[in-house]
Amino acid sequence: MFCNAHQMVAQYKKKRELTEAGALSFMFREFSMLSKSKETEIVDEIRSHITAERYRESVSTSCALSVFVLF
């Protein structure tokens, strides 16, 4: 599940970079529910759950991240 969420985040990042590069700065608005800092925070949380062998929590957080990316 984390691999799927991680792949979706990578695709989202690429799309965000392309949008930022092609948009005028005053027209671009970052998606507030998944800012760069929030994205990093969630991925770090998932990794810490996996390290601590709290797999149910890591799956739950991965699902939440997937919902943000697909929103």
Q: What is the pLDDT of residue 52?
A: 92
Reference 66, options 48, 46, 37; nearest CA is 46
Q: Which domain holds residue 55?
A: 33-71
In a domain, 52, yes or no: yes
Distance between CA atoms of residues 64 and 68, nearest Å: 6
Structural domain contains residue 37: yes
39 assigned to some structural domain: yes
Domain assignment present for residue 18? The answer is: no
For residue 46, pLDDT beyond 80: yes
What pTM, to 2 d.p., does this model score?
A: 0.60
| CB contact set of 34 (below 8 Å; sequence gap of 6+) | 12, 68, 69, 71
Q: Range with the lowest mean pLDDT among 36-40, 47-51, 64-68? A: 64-68
Calculate the alpha carbon distances from 70 to 9, 26, 49 in Å. 10, 25, 22
- Take residue 44 and report the two structure tokens written for it: 């770090």
Number of domains making up the chain:
1
- Residue 42 — pLDDT band, cuts 50, 70, 90? confident
Compare 46 and 35 and report the one with higher pLDDT: 46
Residue 66 lies in a domain: yes
Q: For residue 27, is it within any domain?
A: no
Is there a domain that residue 43 lies in? yes
Residue 3 lies in a domain: no
